[in-house]
């Protein structure tokens, strides 16, 4: 998958707004010199989101599936509204949201949105969850926590999509406000973290350990945590790092924490590295499974096997939720599909929120 981003700016009402948005979206997909033009054969595969920048939030008036976060084990197929602010506490050289993360004057283009207003909008549209994403929610922690509480009061699940780079003092309040989190584990050496992200591996590992083993929702449940590693050719995709990462996960977190390996595409300050080969994701997934992890996925590519949730019982290995990229083909597990969170063939409990 190639992520194509473009900023329309302020639109003057020369024609209906929808037509202006469509025209700019077509230009971004077909005329941006950084990317190969989208072909007619690729049109059916496009997943388009239109973003509206606001004063304290970046709201998407669309209902992408939970798989886009990606959170395959948290109410699969349910809808989620995503938003963020501007700025970031990481300096990732491969940032795909650099226009937001590096923004300094975004407030000049925006209007305010209270936590209560966001919760009301989400509820009125029948959306199941709200995700704090695009830039790291720890940089707007107070606002994210207030919004999470307002959403939870209306039965909406708050979700953090974060790099996990935060202090020990910030973790308890932040994760207590969340029902789920997708935490980026960007690599597994301090050298990679410092040179490529400007942050430190030890701090991220401490956050992940806390989120998985200690964090609780107000109802006393564990916060559901899933990890994502973007594999960048030549930087963090070698076997040594992959084995070390998976060994650490198994030892400190247990085998039931899902791990998602995603494909890199050139962006921001790393434009001279090729996209991640599909074979790299397959190899990484095989290493993680061999290390004993139960739920391992391949992302940003079409990979039915790598996207599917399987029963971890080695005598069963039934397909439980079949996917192709973000699309669910069959769900035999979720309550909304008649399942009960257990494998229908052997009865094994499947980790997650169904």
| pLDDT value of residue 86 | 84
Residues with Cβ < 8 Å from 205, sequence gap 6 or more? 248, 252
Query: In this predicted structure, which of 8-12, 84-88, 313-317 has the lowest mean pLDDT?
Result: 8-12
Mean pLDDT in residue range 183-199 = 98
Region for 193 from its dihedrals, namely left if φ exceeds 0, alpha if ψ lies in -120 to 50, beta otherwise: alpha
| pLDDT value of residue 25 | 65
pLDDT of 102 > 90? The answer is no
pLDDT of 209 > 60? The answer is yes
The string over 275-306, giving b where at least 16 C-beta atoms fall within 10 Å of a residue's C-beta and e elsewhere, is: bbeeebbbbbbebbbebebbbbbbbbbebeeb
Which residue matches tokens 């959306």?
127
Partners of 327 in beta bridges: 324
If you average pLDDT over each of 42-46, 216-220, 281-285, which comes out highest?
281-285
Mean pLDDT in residue range 198-213 = 98
Partners of 52 in beta bridges: 59
SS3 content of the chain, % helix, strand, coil (to 5): 35, 20, 50
Query: In this predicted structure, which of 100-114, 168-182, 206-220, 277-291 has the lowest mean pLDDT?
Result: 100-114
| pLDDT value of residue 11 | 47
Is 28 or 82 the better-scoring residue by pLDDT?
Answer: 82
Partners of 222 in beta bridges: 216
When the pLDDT of each residue in the chain is averaged and rounded to a whole number, the result is: 87
| pLDDT value of residue 99 | 79
- Name the nearest CA neighbour of 341 among 321, 322, 324, 327: 321
- pLDDT confidence tier of residue 113, bands split at 50, 70 and 90: confident
The string over 48-72, giving b where at least 16 C-beta atoms fall within 10 Å of a residue's C-beta and e elsewhere, is: eeebebbebbbbbeeebbbbbbbbb
Is 126 or 46 the better-scoring residue by pLDDT?
Answer: 126
User: Is the CA virtual torsion 277, 227, 151, 90 positive or negative?
Assistant: negative
If you average pLDDT over each of 23-37, 109-123, 310-324, which comes out highest?
310-324
pLDDT of 220 > 70? The answer is yes
CA separation, residue 242 to residues 254, 260, 299, 301 (Å) = 16, 12, 16, 19
Query: In this predicted structure, which of 39-43, 204-208, 220-224 has the lowest mean pLDDT?
Result: 39-43
- pLDDT confidence tier of residue 131, bands split at 50, 70 and 90: very high
Tell me: the pLDDT tens digits for 31-88? Answer: 655 556 677 677 666 665 555 444 344 434 444 579 888 999 999 999 999 988 888 9
Query: In this predicted structure, which of 221-230, 254-263, 305-314, 330-339 has the lowest mean pLDDT?
Result: 330-339
Residues with Cβ < 8 Å from 41, sequence gap 6 or more? none
| pLDDT value of residue 336 | 85
If you average pLDDT over each of 18-27, 107-116, 265-274, which comes out highest?
265-274
Percent of the chain clearing pLDDT 90 (strictly above): 71
Sheet order of strands, 327-331 included: 309-310, 319-324, 327-331
| pLDDT value of residue 73 | 97
Tell me: the pLDDT tens digits for 134-146? Answer: 999 999 999 999 9
Q: What is the pTM of this model?
A: 0.82
Residues with Cβ < 8 Å from 354, sequence gap 6 or more? 73, 75, 76, 333, 334, 335, 339, 340, 341
Mean pLDDT in residue range 185-211 = 98
Percent of the chain clearing pLDDT 70 (strictly above): 79
């Amino acid at each position: 998958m190639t992520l194509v981003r473009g900023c329309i700016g302020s639109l003057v009402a020369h024609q209906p707004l929808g037509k202006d948005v469509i025209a700019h979206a077509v230009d971004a997909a077909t005329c941006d010199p950084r990317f190969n033009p989208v072909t007619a054969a690729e049109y059916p595969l496009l997943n388009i989101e239109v973003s509206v920048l606001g004063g304290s939030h970046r709201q998407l008036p669309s209902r992408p599936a939970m798989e886009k976060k990606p959170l395959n084990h948290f109410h699969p197929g349910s809808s989620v509204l995503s938003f963020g602010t501007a700025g970031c506490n990481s300096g990732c050289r491969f940032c795909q949201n650099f226009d937001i993360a590096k923004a300094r004057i975004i407030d000049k283009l925006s209007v305010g949105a209270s936590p209560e207003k966001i919760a009301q909008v989400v509820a009125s549209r029948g959306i199941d969850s709200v995700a704090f994403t695009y830039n790291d929610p720890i940089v707007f922690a107070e606002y994210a926590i207030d919004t999470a509480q307002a959403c939870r009061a209306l039965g909406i699940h708050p979700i953090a999509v974060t790099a996990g780079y935060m202090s020990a003092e910030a973790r308890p309040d932040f994760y207590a406000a969340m029902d789920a989190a997708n935490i980026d584990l960007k690599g597994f050496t301090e050298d990679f973290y410092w040179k490529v992200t400007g942050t430190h591996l030890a701090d991220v590992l401490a956050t992940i350990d806390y989120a998985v083993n200690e964090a609780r929702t107000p109802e006393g449940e564990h916060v559901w945590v899933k990890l994502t590693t973007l594999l960048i050719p030549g930087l963090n995709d070698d076997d040594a790092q992959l084995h070390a990462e998976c060994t650490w996960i198994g030892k400190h977190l247990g085998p039931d924490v899902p791990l998602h390996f995603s494909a890199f595409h050139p962006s921001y300050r790393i434009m001279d590295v090729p996209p991640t080969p599909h074979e790299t994701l397959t190899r990484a997934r095989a290493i993680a499974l061999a290390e004993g992890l139960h739920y391992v996925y391949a992302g940003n590519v079409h990979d039915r096997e790598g996207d599917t949730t399987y029963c971890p019982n080695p005598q069963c290995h039934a397909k439980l939720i079949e996917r192709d990229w973000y699309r669910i083909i069959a769900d035999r597990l979720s309550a909304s599909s008649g399942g009960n969170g257990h494998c229908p063939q052997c009865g094994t409990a499947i980790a997650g929120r169904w």
